[in-house]
């Protein structure tokens, strides 16, 4: 097909030449016959053999045709030469290679075509460059994005393998950077990210200034996305080099960022993995560095952690739990147990706290401390909380309605209050549930309440108006402002079990909490009571209610119902005994 055009043109020229030759021969013979009054077909002396009239005509035709064919062949090559040049130059062009000049040294239609193709090549190169930037570069900072990081890390690993050297990958996450965007806007947040980029580039350049590397230094720093950065450090001689760089990064982030007369100080969590010590591929290095970074966050943030194999097992466990919670809800693997709350004076059960349990098909019985922190890392905490609300509301209807003896409390995770979409999901579930006489209590930790009090306060007022009782859980472990406490529509506080466990040393703190609660007309519950002396001391201090294994372990709803019914029977019997002597009179 590629050679069909020259053949077609050559054939057309040949046929045209043959036709023209025949016409020219015919005209020549006709002119001769007219001028000399001769007729080749009526000669007086006939010509026999090959020199007959027809033979003479054929011979003359062939003699005229040969130079015509040669001439047509020459003209065809001449005409198609610019086209062949354009074809060869166009085929030699590629995005990865050097630019090719397609313009021709002529002033004809082919030259114009060459100029058009040259313009097209330049536009294609620009478009390819822009697409490459979009695919492999972060538009805000100009650094390689996640795809670019993966691409460059693969190249660096091949280089390190060839030169038998070590590589460190540092995965950096800015702690709580979302608060910067929420409080100051994304424009200022983007400017801070640009400043962070410059500080990190400076550190990278200082770290590798004495090394000769076959690639640009700016490719060693990338921004995989959001508030995350990654640094590839080649030719590691000692692990101390990586530790030194990580500490320099942490210190650089602590230095205030000045944006529009505002100052921001940041912290960061860093995960570190090494090639070939921890991984031998780009995929594994990125995965391990990410795992180590989350370990830094779990350990308190503002620090660096090296990847350890045990971390990988923990991540796999988290994935199993996060993926399994949906099945657990659908397949009835979850259930609620209730730990009674009693009056310290009368020892009567006045309510119970709902505690979720998971009977895992492979791992057996799981307590909330095992899987709740993991689920809180994902949006599945919303669906789980909705399930708890609906289950507790349904089981509450099965309890005897005896005044204040059947209140149930539900824990609302801080992860829900921090995400508007989860807040709406839980709020819709609470609004659908009937909560008469505040028989359902919502427990919210002090820390999560104080984190964003201005946005949380309207939500608490809404739940209060819907008939729910609001309690502050783990009170005394956060940093509550008295002015904020006065604004909150709360009914009581629960004193954290850590104070009860260390009662002798924590007594001044407990006394202060009880005095504050009394001043604000709040009820008090002490958590984690396991010894009789704790109960007696808390009663003497003026605490109203208690909860712990001294009174009861967590119970299924049927066992709790039996306890409440037995308690009601005892109270009725005592009341009857009290009335009988009076009736006899």
Q: Is the pLDDT of residue 332 over 80?
A: yes
- So what's the pLDDT on residue 108? 57
Q: Is the pLDDT of residue 44 over 50?
A: no
Nearest to 290 by CA among 225, 197, 216, 196: 225
pLDDT bin (cut points 50, 70, 90) of residue 2 is very low
**322-329 average pLDDT score:** 82
Q: How far is CA 225 from CA 222, 539, 579, in A?
A: 9, 55, 75
pLDDT bin (cut points 50, 70, 90) of residue 180 is confident
For residue range 365-416, what is the model confidence (pLDDT) as tens digits? 888 888 888 888 777 888 899 999 999 988 888 887 655 557 899 999 888 8
Q: Is the pLDDT of residue 60 over 80?
A: no
- So what's the pLDDT on residue 363? 80
- So what's the pLDDT on residue 47? 47
What's the CATH class of domain 146-307? alpha beta
- So what's the pLDDT on residue 106? 60
Q: Is the pLDDT of residue 84 over 80?
A: no
- So what's the pLDDT on residue 431? 83
The dihedral of CA 47, 53, 59, 64: what is its sign?
positive
- So what's the pLDDT on residue 409? 93
- So what's the pLDDT on residue 585? 46
**237-257 average pLDDT score:** 91
For residue range 197-213, what is the model confidence (pLDDT) as tens digits? 999 999 998 888 777 77
**538-556 average pLDDT score:** 94
Q: Is the pLDDT of residue 43 over 50?
A: no
Q: Is 225 left (phi over 0), alpha (psi -120 to 50) or beta?
A: left
**Long-range own/partner contacts, residues 254-260 (CB < 8 A, 24 or more apart):** 255/199, 257/192, 257/195, 257/196, 259/184, 259/188, 259/191, 259/192, 259/195, 260/188
- So what's the pLDDT on residue 522? 92
Q: Is the pLDDT of residue 295 over 90?
A: no
Most confident of 36-45, 170-179, 542-551: 542-551
Most confident of 16-30, 432-446, 560-574: 560-574
- So what's the pLDDT on residue 483? 67
For residue range 153-173, what is the model confidence (pLDDT) as tens digits? 999 999 989 888 899 999 999
Residue located via tokens 């005095």: 515
- So what's the pLDDT on residue 581? 56
Q: Is the pLDDT of residue 110 over 80?
A: no
* Ranges of each domain in the chain: 4-85, 92-136, 146-307, 324-570
Distance CA 282, CA 295 (A): 20
**225-254 average pLDDT score:** 91
* Residues 6 or more apart in contact with residue 428 via CB below 8 angstroms: none
Q: Is the pLDDT of residue 216 over 90?
A: no
pLDDT bin (cut points 50, 70, 90) of residue 119 is low
What's the CATH class of domain 324-570? alpha beta
pLDDT bin (cut points 50, 70, 90) of residue 547 is very high
């Amino acid at each position: 097909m590629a050679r069909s055009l020259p053949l077609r043109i050559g054939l057309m020229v040949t046929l045209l030449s043959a036709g023209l030759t025949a016409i020219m021969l015919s005209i020549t013979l006709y002119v001769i016959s007219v001028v000399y009054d001769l007729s080749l077909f009526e000669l007086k002396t006939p010509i026999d053999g090959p020199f007959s009239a027809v033979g003479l005509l054929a011979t003359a035709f062939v003699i005229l045709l040969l130079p015509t064919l040669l001439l047509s062949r020459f003209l065809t090559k001449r005409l198609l030469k610019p086209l062949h040049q354009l074809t060869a130059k166009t085929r030699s062009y590629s995005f990865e290679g050097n630019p090719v000049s397609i313009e021709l040294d002529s002033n004809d239609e082919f030259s114009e075509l060459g100029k058009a193709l040259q313009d097209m090549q330049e536009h294609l190169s620009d478009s390819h460059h822009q697409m490459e930037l979009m695919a492999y570069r972060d538009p805000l900072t100009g650094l390689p994005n996640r795809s670019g990081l993966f691409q460059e890390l693969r190249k660096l690993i091949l280089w390190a393998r060839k030169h038998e050297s070590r590589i460190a990958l540092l995965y950096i996450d800015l702690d709580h950077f979302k608060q910067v965007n929420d409080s100051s806007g994304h424009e200022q947040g983007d400017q801070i990210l640009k400043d962070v980029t410059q500080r990190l580039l400076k550190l990278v350049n200082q770290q590798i200034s004495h090394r000769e590397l076959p690639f640009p230094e700016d490719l060693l720093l990338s921004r995989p996305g959001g508030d995350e950065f990654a640094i590839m450090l080649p030719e590691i001689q000692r692990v101390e080099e990586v530790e030194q760089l990580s500490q320099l990064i942490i210190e650089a982030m602590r230095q205030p960022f000045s944006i529009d007369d505002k100052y921001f100080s940041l912290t960061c969590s860093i995960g570190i993995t090494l090639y070939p010590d921890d991984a031998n591929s780009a995929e594994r290095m990125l995965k391990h560095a990410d795992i180590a970074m989350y370990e830094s966050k779990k350990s308190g943030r503002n620090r660096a952690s090296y990847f350890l194999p045990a971390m990988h097992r923990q991540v796999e466990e988290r994935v199993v739990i996060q993926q399994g919670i949906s099945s657990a809800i659908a397949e009835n693997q979850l259930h609620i147990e209730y730990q009674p709350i009693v009056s310290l004076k009368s020892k009567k059960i006045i309510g119970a706290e709902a505690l979720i349990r998971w009977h895992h098909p492979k791992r057996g019985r799981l307590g909330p401390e095992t899987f709740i922190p993991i689920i809180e890392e994902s949006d599945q905490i919303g669906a789980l909380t909705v399930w708890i609300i609906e289950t507790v509301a349904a089981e509450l209807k099965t309890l005897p309605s005896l005044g204040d003896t059947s209140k149930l409390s539900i824990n609302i995770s801080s992860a829900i209050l921090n995400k508007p979409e989860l807040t709406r999901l839980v709020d819709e579930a609470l609004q659908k549930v009937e909560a008469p006489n505040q028989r359902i209590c919502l427990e919210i930790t002090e820390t999560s309440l104080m984190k964003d009090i201005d946005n949380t306060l309207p939500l608490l007022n809404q739940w209060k108006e819907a008939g729910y009782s609001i309690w502050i859980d783990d009170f005394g472990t956060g940093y509550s402002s008295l002015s904020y406490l006065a604004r909150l529509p709360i009914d009581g506080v629960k004193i954290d079990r850590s104070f009860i466990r260390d009662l002798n040393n924590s007594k001044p703190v407990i006394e202060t909490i009880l005095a504050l609660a009394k001043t604000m007309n709040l009820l008090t519950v002490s958590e984690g009571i396991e010894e009789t002396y704790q109960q007696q001391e808390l009663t003497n201090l003026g605490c109203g209610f208690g909860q712990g294994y001294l009174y009861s372990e967590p119970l299924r709803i049927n066992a709790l119902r039996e306890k409440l019914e037995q308690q009601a029977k005892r109270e009725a019997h005592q009341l009857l005994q009290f009335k009988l002597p009076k009736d006899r009179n």
